[in-house]
Amino acid sequence: MTTLTASPNRIAQYWALTKPRVTQLAVFCAVIGMFLATPELPSWKIVVSATIGIWLLAGAAFAINCLVEREIDSRMARTARRPMARGEITVLQTLVFSGVIGGAGMWVLYNFVNPLTMWLTFATFVGYAVIYTIILKPATPQNIVIGGLSGAMPPALGWAAVANDLPMQAWILVLIIFIWTPPHFWALALYRRDEYAKSGLPMLPVTHGTEFTQFHIWLYTIALVATTMLPFAVGMSGLIYLVSVAILDIIFVWYAWQVYRHYTDMIARKMFAYSIIYLSLLFAALLVDHYLRF
């Protein structure tokens, strides 16, 4: 095979290591945090630099995740085509790739944003790549709950990039994603439970059964509804957000109730898909409300 045909394939393999779909949602939430941190438009230089730096460190964390879970991924249909699972990229290549883009991300954040954002993003990297992936995920069915903080941090990273501070409002955004994560991920784990059983990971539907998981999805959804009302309750947002999130919450509650009381794999699959749309629209509603109020 010639270099001209091999090179694009190799680039695509490294790109896949960064889990681009997941990274895009995380970076989107971080960017929203940047805009919510100031009543004015933030500096475009800060927005661009912070976006690049956060994206690079997130990609580095996901690459380590792919490395650690390569054998597990190879046993699951959803992840079997990942480059590490297929043996297309070596351990050394993945470590070097993660180190290079992670180091570049830290350099960008430190020099063009601020040290607080760099250290927070690096802590998030450690939380996801080490604490969650290596320690928690194979050890407890509550892995997605305990380790959810690292995945919930992007809006706080964006806020810190612009404000060089982390007030209560930033942590409310973190809390929303933190509470959203379990019903989002457990919906996936329910309809993929046979794959998770083969993988050896102690996911909740495997260790405690489907009914137990369905009930906990319902409980976390109720908690999510209460949490998403906090921005309005503390004066962080106005009626545009309140009406928008009320509609989004009603649909989320309906899906959760269907999963809890009338379960099918199809409804769990639909809930998982909607949960991604839900989070994106919720943060978009916060942004629209923020600027129309000011």
The pair of three-digit structure tokens given for residue 170, joined into one six-digit string: 């930033």
Average pLDDT in the chain: 91
**Mean pLDDT in residue range 34-63:** 96
Identify the weakest region by mean pLDDT among 16-20, 171-175, 185-189. Answer: 16-20
pLDDT recorded at residue 8: 63
Rounded to an integer, what distance in angstroms lies between the CA atom of residue 24 and that of residue 48? 14
* Contact criterion met (CB below 8 Å) for 217 and 182: yes
Give the phi and the psi of residue 164 in degrees, each rounded to 5: 55, 35
Q: Quick one: 69 and 46 in the same domain?
A: yes
User: Largest alpha-carbon pair distance within the chain?
Assistant: 61
pLDDT of residue 147: 77
d(CA 226, CA 119): 31
Q: Do 133 and 230 reside in the same domain of the chain? A: no
Q: Which residue has the higher pLDDT, 223 or 139?
A: 223
In one-letter notation, the amino acid at residue 132 is Y
What pLDDT, on the 0 to 100 scale, is given for residue 4?
A: 38
Evaluate whether 290 touches 36 at the Cβ level (below 8 Å): yes
Q: What are 128-136's contacts with CB under 8 Å, separation 24+?
A: 128/61, 128/62, 128/65, 129/60, 129/61, 129/64, 129/65, 129/68, 130/64, 133/64, 133/65, 133/68, 133/69, 134/68
Residue 113's CATH number:
1.10.357.140
What was the pLDDT predicted at 2? 37
Instruction: Say whether both 2 and 56 belong to one domain.
Output: yes
Supply the pLDDT for residue 3: 40
Banded model confidence at residue 87, pLDDT cuts 50, 70, 90: confident
Residue 200 is predicted with a pLDDT of: 80
Percent pLDDT > 70 in the chain is 97
Per-residue pLDDT reduced to its tens digit, 179-200:
999 999 999 999 999 888 887 8
Q: Which residue has the higher pLDDT, 90 or 227?
A: 227
- Among 129, 150, 165, the domain boundary falls at 165
Q: Which two tokens stand for residue 293?
A: 């109020």
Are 201 and 79 found together in one domain?
Answer: no
In this predicted model, what pLDDT tens digit does every residue of 232-262 receive, in sequence order? 999 999 999 999 999 999 999 999 999 999 9
pLDDT of 77 over the 80 cut: no
Question: What confidence score (pLDDT) does residue 92 get?
Answer: 94
- State how far the Cα of 258 lies from the Cα of 267, in Å rounded to an integer: 7
CA gap 97, 103 in Å, rounded: 10
- Whether 186 and 247 share a structural domain: yes
Tell which wins on pLDDT, 120 or 293. 120
125 shares a domain with 2: yes
pLDDT band at 209 (very low <50, low <70, confident <90, very high): very high
Predicted local distance difference test score (pLDDT) of residue 146: 77
Q: Are residues 5 and 109 in the same domain?
A: yes
Element (H, E) at 184: helix 168-191
Q: What's the domain count of the chain? A: 2
What is this structure's pTM?
Answer: 0.91
Residue range(s) defining the domain that contains residue 73: 1-165
